[in-house]
Amino acid sequence: DAGVIQSPRHEVTEMGQEVTLRCKPISGHNSLFWYRQTMMRGLELLIYFNNNVPIDDSGMPEDRFSAKMPNASFSTLKIQPSEPRDSAVYFCASSEVGNEQFFGPGTRLTVL
Amino acid sequence: AQRVTQPEKLLSVFKGAPVELKCNYSYSGSPELFWYVQYSRQRLQLLLRHISRESIKGFTADLNKGETSFHLKKPFAQEEDSAMYYCALRSHSGNTPLVFGKGTRLSVIA
């Protein structure tokens, strides 16, 4: 298994553009988590899904952020429109119930 | 409220010296505590969890409920231990997200 897969690994975009980050969890894992990492705030949970259903999205900073999980093997995090303060590393993680969370390599987003 | 505090942003030690990365937590129930490590240009990975009570790469961490601490220790630091270390907690029940501290960067000097 390749582990959690995220794409793209790096994204540079201009303010106002739409950004879509993608995640493929480990096969068989039924929970998926999106985190954001910044120097100032560290690692923060944005949203998580259990069995493809969003459970808690209270960490999503604004309506500009949205996340979907159409099936067990794919999730997207979308920012529309993007702003410079959205620049961060975005991590996806997956797990089986009650077990260790496995992290993807992250997507480094830069909004100019 | 759940909170994890790592008071040191950066910790520098000499090779062979003991290391202690501090972690304190605030949680109203019975939490699970973890240490994650992120080596340069690698993904975040689990180092150890308190319920397994094992030593990984020479690191140990003991949960002290009285002091609400879960400090990470290693008696003799190695250069390859240089990395970012995150303490995290989650509820003991169910599949809930991790709450992370802000991390401590450990630098082991040769």
What whole-number distance in Å separates Cα of residue A19 and Cα of residue B86? 28
Which residues from chain B sit within 8 angstroms of residue A45, using beta carbons?
97-99
Residue B84 burial by Cβ neighbours in a 10 Å radius (0-12, 13-18, 19+):
middle
User: Would you state the pLDDT for residue A72?
Assistant: 94
Q: Are the Cβ atoms of A42 and B43 closer than 8 angstroms?
A: no
Residue B95: pLDDT band by 50, 70, 90 thresholds?
low
| pLDDT tens for each residue of B6-58 | 999 999 999 999 999 999 999 887 889 999 999 998 899 999 988 877 888 99
Beta pairing, strands B104-109 & B10-14: parallel
Please report residues of B whose CB lies closer than 8 A to that of A93: 44
DSSP 8-state secondary structure symbol assigned to residue A82? -
- Residue B93 has a pLDDT of 67
Q: What is the mean pLDDT of residues B88-97?
A: 79
How does residue A42 score in pLDDT terms, banded at 50, 70 and 90? Answer: confident
Q: What is the mean pLDDT of residues A26-54?
A: 93
**Whole-number percent of chain B with pLDDT over 70:** 97
Residue A66: both structure tokens together: 């949205």
Q: Is any Cβ of chain B less than 8 angstroms from the Cβ of A44?
A: yes
Identify the pLDDT of residue B38: 93
The three state secondary structure string of chain A is CCCCEEECCEEEECCCCCEEEEEECCCCCCEEEEEEEECCCEEEEEEEEECCEEEECCCCCCCCEEEEEEECCEEEEEECCCCHHHCEEEEEEEECCCCCCEECCCEEEEEC
Q: Does A94 touch chain B (CB under 8 A)?
A: no
Report percent pLDDT > 90 for chain B.
Answer: 68
Q: A92 in helix, strand or coil?
A: strand
- Put simply, the answer to whether B94 touches A3 (Cβ < 8 Å) is no
Residue B28, pLDDT score:
82
Mind telling me how many Å the CA of B107 is from chain A's nearest CA? 17
Band of residue B94 on the pLDDT scale cut at 50, 70, 90: low
Task: Write the single-letter amino acid at A3.
Answer: G
- Chain B nearest-CA distance from A101, in A, is 8
How close B94 comes to chain A (CA, Å)? 6
Residue B81 CA to residue B68 CA, distance in Å, equals 25
DSSP per-residue letters across B51-72? TT---BTTBEE--BTTTTB--E
Q: Which residues of B touch A3 (CB under 8 A)?
A: 43
Residues of B with Cβ-Cβ distance to A98 under 8 angstroms: 94-95
pLDDT of residue A100: 85
User: A1 pLDDT exceeds 70?
Assistant: no
Q: How confident is the model at residue A41 (pLDDT cuts 50, 70, 90)?
A: confident
* pLDDT tens by residue, A44-87: 999 999 999 999 998 998 899 999 999 999 999 999 999 999 99
Residue with tokens 């969003």: A54
User: What pLDDT score was predicted for residue A40?
Assistant: 86
How close is the nearest chain A Cα to the Cα of B52, in Å?
12
pLDDT of residue B46: 92
